[in-house]
Amino acid sequence: MKTFPQSVQKLIEHFSKLPGVGPKSASRMAFHVLNMPKESALDFADTIREMKENVQFCNQCFHLAEGPLCSICQDAERDDKIMMVVEDVLDLIAFESTGEFGGRYHVLGGVISPVNGIGPEELNIFSLFKRLKDSGVVQELIVATNPTLEGEATAMYIKQELVDLGNISITRIARGVPTGADLDYADRSTLAKALSGRIQL
Amino acid sequence: MKTFPQSVQKLIEHFSKLPGVGPKSASRMAFHVLNMPKESALDFADTIREMKENVQFCNQCFHLAEGPLCSICQDAERDDKIMMVVEDVLDLIAFESTGEFGGRYHVLGGVISPVNGIGPEELNIFSLFKRLKDSGVVQELIVATNPTLEGEATAMYIKQELVDLGNISITRIARGVPTGADLDYADRSTLAKALSGRIQL
């Protein structure tokens, strides 16, 4: 189909490479950009350029940053004694949005997955060990990888590697039934975890 | 949440304005752009800019064009005697992809919809009448607006306005059961149209 002008065709291709976007939605998105005011579209383009030029990963925790250190690592108010390990930045953002955690983070950039050829050396895992040893003040490390097979395996790997740093308590986020869930729709594994992890009222 | 660098936040907002994109998908898209090679991202940005600067609507049929006339209007090979009226450019593209139509097009840019305050003057409809009168060679006008209430009303409006141009035959695309459909899942209106529009085998 050579009926689209070339730049429209190219924009459709760019949109269709985004996660969850098929060719039909990509066309609709390109048309939306075509119909939006010129300033908005140019601002859209500039934002992509600006982001790619300014945003990098924090040298310390691998969160997004506009300089060598991210806003969380720069924040002197946060508690250095507690650190949370997450798979990716979106998980960090999810925990931040609860407002319940005031410690530091460490973003792994993924999970150990032998099937996909991802070992510890592909992740920010050795930098985590180094960071813990160098700092010496962390008392609790919360491992908040996803409750998947690979997330659990990564959590176990971290625990084993840190055995000799006996002074750090390593914890795992709780598993159980999510808020608002319907118990008879919950899977067996979730119910079993909710039962074994029951707490005193 | 001020945890995202500003440009990332801004890109998420841009993505979330696209059709069918919620805040979660918008974040995932922004992260995808963040992780893609720098050249691809900058090319994405440049494509938006280039499209907004080069693409306009064809002066004659209102299809997309990179100059005053679109590729279809410029194509001397196409049949001037038959013209198809469509709601938007995506419909034109859909018909072009069948390879079954070799005539000219006219893109309305929408449908008459009193509820949404859209009358004929908001559409490229008077330019259609003028184009038909000026050219004088069109023998058949296929009205291919969508088979919706508003699409049908727009088709009827066009037919009524063109009554005095008696030499043009005005046709409507066929309605019936779509290819591959399961008859017992078809709605009553579709089945009724399929029955009343039956053809000789």
CATH number for the domain including A40? 1.10.8
Q: How many CB atoms lie within 10 A of CB A11?
A: 26
In a domain, A87, yes or no: yes
Q: How far is B26 from chain A (nearest CA, A)?
A: 10
In a domain, A10, yes or no: yes
Residues A111 and A188 in one domain: yes
Residues B33 and B124 in one domain: no
Residues B117 and B167 in one domain: yes
Q: Tally the domains of chain B.
A: 2
In a domain, B59, yes or no: no
Q: What is the phi-psi region of residue A96: left when phi exceeds 0, alpha when psi lies from -120 to 50, beta otherwise?
A: alpha
Written as six digits, the tokens of B123 are: 């559409």
Interface test with B, best of A46, A48, A62, A77 (most B CBs within 10 A): A48
Q: Please write the tens of the pLDDT for every residue from B102-135.
A: 999 999 999 999 999 999 999 999 999 999 999 8
Measure the CA–CA gap between A158 and A169, rounded to whole angstroms: 12
Q: What is the pLDDT averaged over residues B51-67?
A: 92
Residues A88 and A169 in one domain: yes
Q: What is the pLDDT averaged over residues B27-56?
A: 93
Cβ-Cβ contacts under 8 Å, B17 against chain A = 32, 36
Q: Please write the tens of the pLDDT for every residue from B137-146.
A: 999 999 999 9
In a domain, B1, yes or no: no
At residue A32, the pLDDT reads: 92
At residue A2, the pLDDT reads: 58
At A84, the pLDDT band (50, 70, 90 cuts) reads very high
Which of B32, B44, B64 is opposite residue A5, by nearest beta carbon? B64
Q: How far is B49 from chain A (nearest CA, A)?
A: 6
At residue A18, the pLDDT reads: 95
Residues B97 and B189 in one domain: yes
In a domain, A65, yes or no: no
Distance of CA A112 to the CA centre of its chain: 14
Written as six digits, the tokens of A199 are: 């707490």
Helix extents (H) in chain A? 6-16, 23-35, 38-54, 71-74, 89-98, 126-135, 149-161, 188-196
Inter-chain CB proximity A52 and B41 less than 8 Å: yes
Q: How far is B181 from chain A (nearest CA, A)?
A: 21
Residues B113 and B161 in one domain: yes
CA dist A163 to A28, A129, A133, A166, B59, Å?
53, 11, 12, 6, 73
At residue A1, the pLDDT reads: 46
**DSSP per position, B107-127:** E-SS--BGGGTB-GGGTTTHH
Residues A27 and A120 in one domain: no
Q: Which domain holds residue B33?
A: 6-15+22-54
Q: Which of B26, B64, B191, B132 is nearest to A11 (CA)?
A: B64
Q: How far is B171 from chain A (nearest CA, A)?
A: 24
Residue A200 has pLDDT above 80, yes or no: no
Q: For chain A, what is the mean pLDDT?
A: 90
In a domain, B69, yes or no: no
Residue B95 has pLDDT above 70, yes or no: yes
Above pLDDT 90, what percent of chain A?
Answer: 67
Q: What is the pLDDT averaged over residues B68-90?
A: 94
At residue B141, the pLDDT reads: 94
CA dist A127 to A26, A60, A134, A185, B34, Å?
39, 8, 10, 40, 22
In a domain, B67, yes or no: no
Residues A98 and A186 in one domain: yes
Residues B129 and B169 in one domain: yes
Q: In terms of CA atoms, which chain B residue is nearest residue A15?
A: B44
Cβ–Cβ under 8 Å, residues B65 and B127: no
Measure the CA–CA gap between A138 and A81, rounded to whole angstroms: 4
Residue B9 has pLDDT above 50, yes or no: yes
Residue B181 has pLDDT above 60, yes or no: yes
Residues B89 and B166 in one domain: yes
Give me the CATH number covering residue B120: 3.40.1360.10
Inter-chain CB proximity B96 and A1 less than 8 Å: yes
Phi and psi dihedrals of B56, rounded to 5? -135, -175
Residues A37 and A107 in one domain: no
